Chain A
């Protein structure tokens, strides 16, 4: 692409991305949650990889990591990671279904966005029950 071409494309891009001034329908909320959960997962990986590395290094450190999961903080991080992962996964599946040409109309798009978020909440509750009980 020529330099002029790129300039034209840039000029046509929307400039208002101030999230506080944009009205947020369900589709927009589903989209922003997909992004937030993606970024959160990236940082959660630091904890996951650390725990994984520790747990495999020796029997003592395995017991140490296992012991951490009796406490609130490790449980909370594990719950947060699983919940965020499941929502990101659901959002990704929705994207792939949309790639195949479904749920692209206003009504179906809004419905699938709402169902995705509701499923995210359901799985977050289930993950909480799994980790704490």
Chain B
């Protein structure tokens, strides 16, 4: 069990918990952003950069992007293992999709750094 925790191998329970905890954070972020647009009649550049220059917002955004990476890794794996029967194609698709989600985090970090 300890060995299992020390490796990057996942099990069903870890996936179950990770999927739900990340979902809660992503939901909170999505509701916050939709709420921001609903509550702000005219979003200006000053207001928009002001929002993301706030350290708490930078942290919230980056954490959400990391959660999206974990959440989509599990979700897309579930979808791929069900519908893509060819193991090589599934591995290739999994690689590309994982790379995309890592790129989302990397780009997010760079954007937040510059605001």
Contact = CB atoms under 8 A, between A and B. Distances in A.
Given A35-B79, A57-B114, A42 B101 contact: yes
B45 A62 contact: yes
A96 B23 CA distance: 10
B111 A52 contact: yes
Interface size class of A (residues with CB under 8 A): 20 to 34
Given A82-B34, A85-B30, A56 B49 contact: yes
A89 B27 contact: yes
Nearest to B110: A53
B60 interface: no
Contact of A99 (B20, B82, B114): B20
Contacts of B72: 38, 42
B83 interface: yes
A49 B108 contact: yes
Contacts of A66: 43
Nearest to B61: A52
Contacts of B82: 17
B99 interface: no
A92 B23 contact: yes
A119 interface: no
Given A17-B82, A42-B101, A56 B75 contact: no
A87 B23 CA distance: 13
Interface in A67-111: 82, 85, 89, 92, 96, 99
Nearest to A1: B11
A68 B32 CA distance: 23
A56 B52 contact: yes
B11 to A, nearest CB: 10
Interface string A17-50: 1000000000000000001001100100110010
Contacts of B91: none
A62 B111 contact: no
Interface of A: 17, 35, 38-39, 42, 45-46, 49, 52-53, 55-57, 59, 62-63, 66, 82, 85, 89, 92, 96, 99, 130
19 contacts: A17-B82, A35-B78, A35-B79, A38-B72, A39-B79, A42-B72, A42-B97, A42-B100, A49-B108, A53-B107, A56-B49, A57-B111, A59-B45, A62-B48, A63-B45, A85-B30, A89-B27, A92-B23, A96-B23
